[in-house]
Amino acid sequence: MARARRFSCTGWAGGLALALSVCPPALAQDAEPSGSAPAQASPTTERTVHPPELIEVAEAVYPDEARAARREGRVVLKLRIDAAGHVTKAEVVEPAGNGFDEAAQEAVLRFRFTPARRGDKAVAAIVLYAYEFRLPPEPAPTPEARPAPATAPAAPAPTAPAAPVTVGPAKPPIDVMVRGASEVDRLRRSAQAVQVIETEEAQRRTADLGEVLARSEGVGVRRAGGLGSNARLSLNGLTGEQIRFFLDGVPLDFAGYAHGITNVPVNLVERIEIYRGVVPVRFGADALGGAVNLVTDADVHGTHASASYQVGSFKTYRWTLSARHLHEPSGFFARVNGFYDYTRNDYPIDVEVFDAQGRLSPARVHRFHDGYRAGGGSVEVGLVGRPRAERLLLRAFYTEHQRDVQHNALMSVPYGAVTYAKQSGGAHLRYAQPFSRRTRFDAVAGYTYTHTAFQDLSTCRYDWFGRCVFELPQRGEIEARAIDQVIQQHNAFARFNLAWTPAPWHSLRFGLSPTYAVRTGKDHAIAATDYDPLTAQRGLLSNVAGVEYEARPFAGKLANIAFAKGYLQMARTKEQLPNGTLRDLDRTTQRGGIGDSLRFRFSEAFYAKASYEYATRLPNPDEVFGNGALIVENLHLEPETSHNVNLGLTLERAETAAGLFRFNVNGFGRFAENLIVLLSNGNYFQHENVLSARSVGVEGALGWTSPGDWVALDGYVTWQDFRNTANEGAFGKFEGDRIPNRPYLFAGASARLQGTHLLRSRDALSLTWQARYVEAYFRGWESVGAADSKIVIPSQLVHALALTYAIKHGDGSVSGTIEVQNLTDEKVFDSFGVQQPGRAANAKLVVEL
């Protein structure tokens, strides 16, 4: 939660009670990393704070009953004012009743202020404001008039003028809180190599979390189909499990979303933190390419509820529901979340089919066996804000994913009855407490159980029209045998973090993150007399420990984080040798790593960053033991290491008469050994080591917002050169080739037109256009085969258009969006040449209370 500067003041502003004088602040937090203690503010002009000033007044409607009873009132409200000077929330602090509270709230929401400013930057503020309702004194009685002549009509009594509402000064001091840097601002301006995406706008849109991520520079999302299909996120060239995923700091697999990050409902996520190549110690991650942390609603105060419903093409339906409540006197907190997704994914694709003469000819068909169903929920209860527990929360969850498998990896053979399902359930306990003003402890520990089922039991061979064209001599479409696999995995994990601030501008942090997974299973289609490798009990113990030291000299203009990590992995399993005998295969791996992150701030919003990490990534259970479906085991997979380098320059905002400008440019290098890559032989996938590879590139983003926030333009571009540098081993003959099946150039752009206060106060109508371009790339090694025989994924340009109307009322809001994706119905191909959905229309309704 952002710390604040607080001032006590009194005064007049156009007849309104508003704080205008500023008292000297004591301590404030500015650009502090998460978990750090507050540091002494430096007396620079960048930190000079100016409170908001009222420039536009709205008069309240005097309640009729109160007027008739000649009642007066005084309502004290807490106003939240954004960086544009709009009142976004009005909360009654001291009610007056008799209809005064509602009338005052309605009026102040139409107030306009000049924004509060820290230096030259507009910032959000909180103002305590007193609205007073006063009636004019009753008119003095008029002298008794002489009786009128009997013939004259009586004169009508004069109508009293409507009593004006007056607003008087508040008697106690008025408080103004100019908010310090938010958690998002602190992360962006810290020394960490992090990009933060806020999802407030995305929650109103119909794109899933994968699309939201893919609209950022340096980030690519590779899919094997539509909603619910396997997806792999790419970050600066590295992909898949080389990037670790978290939900509120808990590994995503252990938080109930074992089916992947792209299938997490975007409406349950408040922001996305993307760490590039250098991962903070607090995550306990052995990532090679970086980490992605999904942050849910961090606010635990008050009562809040939201729901969303989406319907779209290809029989797609999605809904989410969340609610939370805090009982302030006791500190008891409760939160529930739920989601459900369903789609047929029956979009048209272009394939080759046999005609009446037995010749292959092109045809357009609909996918007929690609349905996806997912649902789940979580319940979180505990205490917050207690003397011995800042947070003590227990979260229990259950999720289920069921997916039909339409074809093989290369989309060359259709399947009609192959299915895959995964269930995940568990709980974790989170505890956070400052032991003193300088020491803070955070911990989370939990258990997760996952159950995976993969079945291929059909005796039919299907064609692309969904017809059973002939009976197979045995069960099984993928290979000449039936598959009925069930895998159970038990996971236990913990994350312990201790932060100590021995002196201002100095912090020391420790982290310890053990994880243990044990797996067993059975293929019910294998005869009892044959060896089933799934029945072997397999265990994988991993532990990452780290320490980091942060210093912020020169009044915080320079920030540096130096760190060291230690890695340990112990694997236990059995291996079947070619002669059929079994042997124990136990392996222990120990590695170390170091790194440093540096940030220099030229001004509040203009800074440069540089970072380096020698990183190790330990193979996870799915890579070593397989995923129980189309990814098979590789028990001899080696850990991968990399020297990761980043160098970037960021301008968060530059306010000019022509509008607000922003840009970011970053160069990166990833120099890896024993790189783990996912390869396919057509039916199955397997992870293998490439002895050495390197990825270098540059990414940049540029944006502009017009005065008044009517127009916003943004664009990004990424170029990366990811090549095999090994001259020996299984891939030595491909030395110098680009790593196959990965784009090397992609870009995107967006334009938003927005109008506010159109049909009613606090409404907004926006029209957003987005485009994404991907340059053509090879699906296989570029040096193999003649130029005209190589399989190329063609270049593609895809557009999306969304129209959103939102209405805010009090603390709540209602929004509706109509969005068309792939507006021009472009043929889009992704990982291994799988065709993606064409034009799709979606509608979404979001309600927040």
Token readout for 660 is 């607000």
Given this model, what pLDDT does residue 303 score?
87
Helices (H), 35-99: 64-68
Cα angle 6-9-14, degrees, rounded to a multiple of 5: 125
Given this model, what pLDDT does residue 579 score?
64
Query: How many C-beta atoms lie closer than 10 Å to residue 835's C-beta?
Result: 17
In angstroms, the CA 208 to CA 724 distance is 33
Question: Which residues is 53 bridged to in the sheet?
Answer: 114
Token readout for 142 is 């008029």
Give pLDDT tens digits for 245-279: 999 989 988 888 877 788 788 888 888 999 988 88
What are the angstrom distances between the C-alpha of 319 and each of 170, 201, 247, 421?
Answer: 46, 17, 19, 20
Given this model, what pLDDT does residue 172 score?
36
The burial class, CB within 10 Å (0-12 / 13-18 / 19+), for 197 is middle
Element (H, E) at 621: helix 621-625
Give pLDDT tens digits for 293-310: 999 877 777 888 999 999
Given this model, what pLDDT does residue 664 score?
93
CA 113 to chain centre: 32
658: left (phi over 0), alpha (psi -120 to 50) or beta: alpha
Tell me the range of 13-22, 63-72, 275-284 where mean pLDDT is highest. Answer: 275-284
User: Residue 618 pLDDT > 70, yes or no?
Assistant: yes
What pTM did the predictor assign? 0.75
DSSP character string of 459-512:
-EEE-TTS-EEEE-SSS-SSBSB-EEEEEEEEEEEEEEEEEEEEETTEEEEEEE
Instruction: Answer yes or no: are the C-beta atoms of 239 and 287 closer than 8 Å.
Output: no
Query: What mean pLDDT value characterizes the chain?
Result: 82
User: Residue 1 pLDDT > 60, yes or no?
Assistant: no
In angstroms, the CA 199 to CA 220 distance is 18
Tell me the range of 127-131, 463-467, 554-558, 624-628 where mean pLDDT is highest. Answer: 463-467
- Pick from 719, 729, 830, 639: nearest CA to 242: 639
Question: Which residues is 176 bridged to in the sheet?
Answer: 7, 127
* Banded pLDDT at 34 (limits 50, 70, 90): very low
Kindly report which listed range (22-31, 304-313, 351-360) carries the lowest average pLDDT score: 22-31
User: Residue 113 pLDDT > 70, yes or no?
Assistant: yes
In angstroms, the CA 101 to CA 74 distance is 9
Given this model, what pLDDT does residue 16 score?
33
User: Residue 171 pLDDT > 70, yes or no?
Assistant: no
* Banded pLDDT at 817 (limits 50, 70, 90): very high
Query: How many C-beta atoms lie closer than 10 Å to residue 849's C-beta?
Result: 14
Cβ-count burial 417-435 (b if 16+ within 10 Å, e if not):
bbbbbbbbbbbbebbbbee
Residue with tokens 């664009």: 715
In angstroms, the CA 380 to CA 331 distance is 14
Cβ-count burial 662-697 (b if 16+ within 10 Å, e if not):
bbbbbebbbbbbbbbbbbbeeebbbbbbbbbbbbbb
Instruction: Answer with the residue of higher pLDDT: 82 or 181.
Output: 82
- Pick from 438, 576, 547: nearest CA to 503: 438
- Pick from 301, 349, 339: nearest CA to 91: 301
Question: Which residues is 724 bridged to in the sheet?
Answer: 693
DSSP character string of 669-720:
EEEEEEEEEEEE-SS-EEEEEEEEEEEEEEEEEEEEE-GGG-EEEEEEEEEE
Query: How many C-beta atoms lie closer than 10 Å to residue 301's C-beta?
Result: 13
Give pLDDT tens digits for 312-355: 999 999 999 999 999 888 989 999 999 999 999 999 999 988 87
Kindly report which listed range (213-217, 560-564, 787-791) carries the lowest average pLDDT score: 787-791
DSSP character string of 741-784:
S--SEEEEEEEEEEEESSSSTTEEEEEEEEEEEE--EESS-TTS
Token readout for 758 is 């159109």
In angstroms, the CA 319 to CA 317 distance is 7
Residue with tokens 């996806």: 372
Token readout for 71 is 């009642």
What mean pLDDT is predicted for residues 624-643?
80
In angstroms, the CA 823 to CA 715 distance is 19
| 812-821/840-848 β-pairing | antiparallel
Given this model, what pLDDT does residue 743 score?
87
Give pLDDT tens digits for 571-587: 888 776 766 667 777 88
Kindly report which listed range (234-238, 244-248, 404-408, 664-668) carries the lowest average pLDDT score: 234-238
What mean pLDDT is predicted for residues 423-431?
95
Kindly report which listed range (130-134, 232-236, 280-284, 628-632) carries the lowest average pLDDT score: 628-632
What mean pLDDT is predicted for residues 46-69?
78
DSSP character string of 593-606:
EEEEEEEEEEETTE
Instruction: Answer yes or no: are the C-beta atoms of 501 and 551 closer than 8 Å.
Output: no
Percent of the chain with pLDDT strictly greater than 90:
37
What mean pLDDT is predicted for residues 443-449?
95
| 243-247/290-295 β-pairing | parallel
Residue 813: φ, ψ to 5°? -160, 160
User: Residue 155 pLDDT > 60, yes or no?
Assistant: no
Counts for the chain of helices (H) and strands (E), in that order = 6, 48
Q: Go through the chain and tell me how many residues it has.
A: 849
What mean pLDDT is predicted for residues 179-197?
77
Give pLDDT tens digits for 697-742: 999 999 999 988 899 999 999 999 999 898 887 778 888 888 888 8
Token readout for 562 is 């130096």
What mean pLDDT is predicted for residues 800-807?
94
Tell me the range of 84-93, 443-452, 706-715 where mean pLDDT is highest. Answer: 443-452
In angstroms, the CA 122 to CA 115 distance is 6
- What is the Cα Rg of the chain in Å? 31
CA torsion angle 101 106 112 115 (round to 10): 60
Instruction: Answer yes or no: are the C-beta atoms of 369 and 466 closer than 8 Å.
Output: yes
E runs forming strands in 238-347: 238-239, 243-247, 250-251, 271-276, 290-295, 303-312, 316-327, 332-343
Question: Which residues is 318 bridged to in the sheet?
Answer: 310, 341
User: Residue 505 pLDDT > 70, yes or no?
Assistant: yes
E runs forming strands in 355-479: 360-366, 372-386, 389-404, 419-434, 439-456, 460-462, 468-471
Instruction: Answer with the residue of higher pLDDT: 787 or 474.
Output: 474
What are the angstrom distances between the C-alpha of 415 and each of 259, 353, 453, 615, 833?
Answer: 21, 14, 17, 40, 17
Given this model, what pLDDT does residue 208 score?
84
Instruction: Answer with the residue of higher pLDDT: 634 or 696.
Output: 696
Cα angle 211-213-214, degrees, rounded to a multiple of 5: 65
Given this model, what pLDDT does residue 198 score?
86
In angstroms, the CA 262 to CA 271 distance is 14
Query: How many C-beta atoms lie closer than 10 Å to residue 236's C-beta?
Result: 27
